Amino acid sequence: MVAMAVFVSAACGGGGTTSGSGSNVTFAAPVSQTGAFGQAEGLYTLQGYKFCVQTLNSKGGISYGGQSHQVKLVIEDDQSVAATSAQIVDQFHDQGDKLILSPYGSAGTTAVAPVVERNAQVMVDSNGADTAIFSHGYKNTFAVLSPSSSYVTSIIDALSALSPAPKTVAIIAASDGFSQHAAEQGVTEAKAKGMTVVPSATAYTSSTKVTANATDVSSALIAIKGTNPDVIIISAHLNEAVAAVKQASELGVKPKDGFAATVAPPTPAFISALGKSSEGIFGSTQWVPEISASDPVFGSAHEFLTNFTNTYGWSSQQYPYQAADAAAGCEALALAIEKAGSVDPAAVRTALVGLKADTFYGHIEFDSTGMNTSKPMYVIQIQKSAFVTIYPSNLATKQAIWPAVS
């Protein structure tokens, strides 16, 4: 075990040798176990954190100060309520827990970031992608995942690489900040690629805007009906995306080429909710196992997938990418502690500022605002109930089925 700890330490530039076990290091996280995210995205995030801690500990823990330290994970259920996430992180502070892993989602992370700042805690954000989080000048929040601006743009880029490329797209966007920002950037990218956005380039803020977590999006689909888009892109979370695909069929809204969505398609819950209707739908994702990346803790991206899915009983064809985000966030925090040689939050923060790590998740390096802008996003398509990477082309395992609707 000690040898493993040395291995991990050497991998992140810590160097040195360990001489016994030190006190536990506590990672604290508010994670949704009930409520809207409780049984899907929150669950995936929780499993990612648990898998990371379990793997770190099985390899000797975190090495600093000449000793190896086991990691203890403290979890509290935020009930999928952003304000509760913030309260929990305040309680963590009162308990002396300074090293924070983010909740699932931009709303929760947005609420937690100012609390972390006020309490001089330090947080690694694994699943809150809204760029607005990083526009406030916070110094203690660092995100391993690509920002919200990449979600719809990566879909547009993937679509424009297909033949024939779509000429018109409609974008339905949920009312939350993440989905609205992703849609806004997507509209800009679509126009740059020569596509026409219907019913209008600003519809995602009005007629095709839907309430976050809504299960009825008929108003947006009726607004789109008659504009005959080649592709309908849904910038939203699971509930809205499922409702959009089902209700589009009911209302006779049939895009010529198919559907795409941001967060929902690369999650097992999307396929279980839609069944056959999920076939051919494109989705943007933060991580795919085909990337050429590895680290001493988790091994290669493929090894991470195999070990994670075996541990939690997922199919390797339907894996929740949010778990990879969570494990990467947890790993970044561990690497920063080793680099800092301390669990002092100020020292860990300084280490995160200068962190440059190649991991199973890809390259992790933070810009001046705390975002990991160097990491690309990927696009998958659901084919025969499996996630198939189709973009970028060098990672594609199969050709995209296109047009995706018959």
- Residues forming the site for other proteins (CB under 8 A): 34-36, 38-40, 175, 205-211, 213-220, 222-223, 225-226, 238-239, 242-243, 246, 249-252, 268-269, 272-277
Minimum CB separation from other proteins for residue 201, in Å? 16
Q: Work out how close the CB of 14 gets to other proteins at its nearest, in angstroms, rounded to a whole number.
A: 41
Strand partners, 300: 294
Of 71 and 244, the one with the shorter C-beta distance to other proteins is: 244
Structure tokens that stand for 400 in this block = 């995209």
What is the distance between the alpha carbons of residues 296 and 298, in angstroms, rounded to a whole number?
A: 6
Specify the residue for token string 């000048």. Answer: 137
Residues contacting residue 242 through CB under 8 Å, at least 6 positions apart: 215, 264, 270, 273, 274
We find the least distance from the C-beta atom of residue 95 to other proteins, in angstroms, to be: 28
Cβ of residue 218: shortest distance to other proteins, in angstroms? 6
Closest to other proteins by CB, 175 vs 294, is: 175
Strand ranges, E, within 199-349: 209-210, 231-235, 258-261, 282-285, 294-295, 299-300
Instruction: Decide whether 177 or 268 has the Cβ nearer to other proteins.
Output: 268
C-alpha torsion sign, points 225, 229, 230, 235: negative
Contact 309, 320 (CB under 8 A): no
Rank residues 273 and 324 by Cβ distance to other proteins and give the closer one.
273
Output 228 or 292, the one with its CB closest to other proteins.
228
Tell me whether residue 172 or residue 377 sits nearer to other proteins (CB atom): 172
What is d(CA 35, CA 253) in angstroms, rounded to the nearest whole number? 31
Which residue stretches of 119-277 are H helix?
A: 149-160, 177-192, 218-224, 238-250, 268-274
> Nearest CA to 85 among 62, 60, 102?
102
Smallest separation (angstroms) from other proteins to the CB of 69: 35
One DSSP character per residue, 138-165 reads: -SSEEE-SPPTHHHHHHHHHHHHTSSSP
In whole angstroms, the minimum distance from the beta carbon of 75 to other proteins comes to 17
- Which residue lies nearer to other proteins by CB, 193 or 254? 254
Nearer Cβ to other proteins, position 265 or 370? 265
Q: What angle do CA 129, 134, 135 make, to 5 degrees?
A: 130
Instruction: Provide, rounded to whole angstroms, the least separation between the CB of residue 248 and other proteins.
Output: 9
Which two tokens mark 162?
């297909």
* Separation between Cα atoms, residue 85 and residue 155, nearest integer Å: 31
Shortest distance, position 126 Cβ to other proteins, whole Å: 22
Q: Which is nearer to other proteins, 205 or 373 (CB)?
A: 205
**Shortest separation between residue 217's beta carbon and other proteins, angstroms:** 7
Q: How many residues does the chain have?
A: 406
Give CA separation, 295 vs 93, 201, 328, in Å. 31, 43, 11
- In the bound state with other proteins, the residue whose beta carbon lies nearer, of 242 and 348, is 242
Phi and psi at residue 383, to the nearest 5° = -130, 120
For the chain, the distance separating the N- and C-terminal CA atoms, rounded to the nearest angstrom, is 55
Query: Considering the complex, what minimum distance in angstroms separates the CB of residue 243 from other proteins?
Result: 7
